[in-house]
Structure 1
Amino acid sequence: MARPENVLLPYKNYVDLVDENDIFLALEHNLAEIKELLGAIHSSKLGYAYAPGKWTVAQLLQHVIDAERIFDYRALRIARGDKTPLPNWEEDDYARMAPADHRTLADLSEEILSVRKASTLLLYSFTDDCWERTGTTSGKQVDVLTIAFLIVGHMRHHIKILRERYEIQP
């Protein structure tokens, strides 16, 4: 599937992080980036936050897991023709309530990879007409293709943060 056009904010910021024009190629490249990053994280770094009030590495990893599941749910609902507006979700509330700091790196890594596999399988299941279906999420119109690119762009955004602010380098 080719890159979406006329993407609205805030989705545009994430979609613009996807250089690939084909979503399946982007997912493949992003999976390699995820594996490389996870391999560079030392378990002693899971409790590290780069500044007071910022998420720990474990909380950030949990966030990308939670976010991807929500993006998948939104894509599924819209692809199936559900026109019910989908509300926003408060990521800081999720981070506060998730027991991320009690999890191991192996556990978080396995879940990230499992969720990405599920995302990829879901996206491969869509027919051409599914990609163009639109719905409302967080008060904004969005199509399934944009959500797919958002999945990759959101992950790339957080990989960049982990590299730059948390100083995790492959």
Structure 2
Amino acid sequence: MYIDSKEYGSFYGRYINLTNGIPLQDLWKGGLNDVLMLMNNLTDEEALVRYEPEKWSLKEVFGHMLDTERIFCYRALAVARGEEEIKGYDHNIYLNNADFDRASLRSLKEQYIISRKYTESLFGSFSDNDLLKTGIVNSSTFSVRAMAYVIAGHEQHHLHIIAEKYLPVVTKTDF
């Protein structure tokens, strides 16, 4: 599906562009499978790896992905129900107050599965008219359907970072 650049803020184009016109259900299913495969092949200790000292751990990246998906679901619901403006959120404040490193990978995996089911259910409940509704989100005009693609593209963005930056460190680390 083609999402017009007028349906989202320019910052979010980098996420939308990663979806390459792939059907949303395929993106969500493939993304979930990729995340779960990754989680299933890591130990809790390996998931604490940071590719540089000040960067997030893998658990924190997973937690950030969860938070962002949940927030975009809320934003989509709010716009679909008629809210006209929703402020942004500071992902660093959320991360600093979450303590994802103490969570088990099993717990993060369960949360991811539940969150994705909710996301699919929520967006599946929207009418075609709801999907086209727009509001101001984080100072940018957004359609509800564009938020669905941001969720998928944001996930792909972080999967690419994990593959490029984290996995080489995990495979070189002697645990």
Matches within 5 A, 1:65-76: 65-76=66-77
Q: Report if aligned partners of 1:50, 1:165 keep a CA contact under 8 Å in 2.
A: yes
Q: 1:160 to 1:51 in 2, by over 3 A?
A: same
The alignment partner of 1:135 has SS state of: strand
Tell me which residue corresponds to 1:159: 159
The alignment partner of 1:81 has SS state of: coil
What 5-or-longer segments of structure 2 have no aligned partner? 171-175
Q: Normalising to structure 1: TM-score of the pair?
A: 0.92
Q: Using the alignment, how far apart are the partners of 1:127 and 1:140 within structure 2? A: 23
Percent identity between the aligned chains? 28
Q: Using the alignment, how far apart are the partners of 2:13 and 2:58 within structure 1? A: 25
Tell me which residue corresponds to 2:65: 64
Cα shift at 1:5: 1.3
Deviation per residue, 1:42-81 (Å, 9 max, x gap): 2221221110211111111111111111000000011112
Code of the residue aligned with 1:63 in structure 2: it is H
The alignment partner of 2:60 has SS state of: helix
Q: Using the alignment, how far apart are the partners of 2:20 and 2:27 within structure 1? A: 8
Cα shift at 1:36: 2.1
Cα shift at 1:19: 2.1
Tell me which residue corresponds to 1:107: 107
Q: Report if aligned partners of 1:3, 1:23 keep a CA contact under 8 Å in 2.
A: no
Q: Report if aligned partners of 1:3, 1:21 keep a CA contact under 8 Å in 2.
A: no
Cα shift at 1:113: 1.3
Matches within 5 A, 1:83-162: 83=84, 85-162=85-162
Q: Normalising to structure 2: TM-score of the pair?
A: 0.89
RMSD over aligned Cα, in angstroms?
A: 1.5
**How many residues are paired up?**
167
Matched, 1:31 2:32: yes
Matches within 5 A, 1:42-61: 42-61=43-62
The alignment partner of 2:152 has SS state of: helix
Larger fraction in helix: 2
What 5-or-longer segments of structure 1 have no aligned partner? none
Code of the residue aligned with 1:132 in structure 2: it is L
The alignment partner of 1:4 has SS state of: coil
The alignment partner of 1:41 has SS state of: coil
List structure 1 runs of 4+ shifted beyond 6 angstroms.
none
Q: Using the alignment, how far apart are the partners of 1:81 and 1:22 within structure 2? A: 26
Q: Using the alignment, how far apart are the partners of 1:3 and 1:144 within structure 2? A: 14
Cα shift at 1:22: 2.2
Tell me which residue corresponds to 1:79: 80
